[in-house]
Amino acid sequence: MSSSTERLTPRVLLAYLSVFIIWGSTYLAIRVGVRDWPPALFAGVRFLAAGGILLLVARIKGSPLPNRRGIFDLSVVGLFLLVGGNWLVVWAEKTIPSGLAALIIAIVPLFMSTIDSFVPNGQRLPLFGWVGIVVGFAGMFILVSPSLGMAEGLSLDPLGIAGLVIASFLWSIGSVYSKHHPVHGDIFVNSSIQNLAAGIVLTSIGTTLNEWPEIRITEPGVLSLLYLIIFGSIVGYTSYAYLLRHVPPAKASTYAYVNPVVAICLGWLILSEPIDGRTIIAAVVILAGVAIVQTSKMRSKG
């Protein structure tokens, strides 16, 4: 990648800010929404709506669709990021507090850097970076290990934790795949295909699981869905797709530093989710590991 594509242009800066702040708030919206919506349909309806709006905007602009190979690559990315990644987050947040879910998802850069170091033409992770991997996962162990006990009587659902770890891994695969299989063209078209592919699959899954009768139409549920469609998907996801096209994966994933802080604060402020010393220590250790990995990759590239 040329240096010209890595400069902090106004558009790149806005994309960073969008992903940093908006995505941190989506964990709260998901936590509220899954009280009234089953996971697959909650995510599926969100992505169908967002994908349809994005495609409509792109077609009004006169933007052409990519070729078959491009549609395939975009669909693969959408399935990894939104079906494998986001759906599992939605499912996990039925039992895991929003702030803690965001903190566990902060390990995404650890997975991304590891995966990218093994794929052809990927950026190899130096020794110092592997130290960061160990530190980051040690922080997650501090957060979730049953042997350490939870303050204030809070216990974490093991299946929910496992779902979040798998979601982080699948999201990382999709992000690295996107970087190494770029599809040029209008960002709205590309994002719409990713959202629609995921929306179709998730709605089909929700229908197969007979989730439709479980939906409860409430004001909080509808507002959370609308927020996720407009801000989480159309603004935030499009911004992330833009970053993946213009900066290295290690830099694009720096949102992981900010998202947990935003999510933890919002969860505490609005949903009264507890913040204890263990959570703070785990957050510091996880983010320190992420910082070590990111710094080592930037230094090795420079």
Cα 176 to Cα 114: distance, rounded to the nearest angstrom: 10
Determine the pLDDT at residue 4.
Answer: 37
pLDDT at 121: 85
pLDDT at 301: 63
Angle at 301 between CA 187 and CA 128, to 5 degrees: 115
- Using an 8 Å Cβ cutoff, are 199 and 46 in contact? yes
* Region at 185 (left for phi over 0; alpha for psi -120 to 50; beta for the rest): left
Q: What is the pLDDT of residue 302?
A: 54
Please report the pLDDT score of residue 231 as a whole number: 95
pLDDT tens, residue order, the chain (302 aa): 333 345 678 889 899 989 989 999 999 999 999 999 999 999 999 999 999 999 999 999 999 999 999 999 999 999 999 999 999 999 999 999 999 999 999 999 899 989 999 998 888 889 999 999 999 999 999 888 765 444 444 578 899 999 999 999 999 999 999 989 999 889 899 999 999 999 999 999 999 999 999 999 999 999 999 999 999 999 998 888 888 788 876 677 777 788 999 999 999 999 999 888 888 999 999 999 988 988 887 776 65
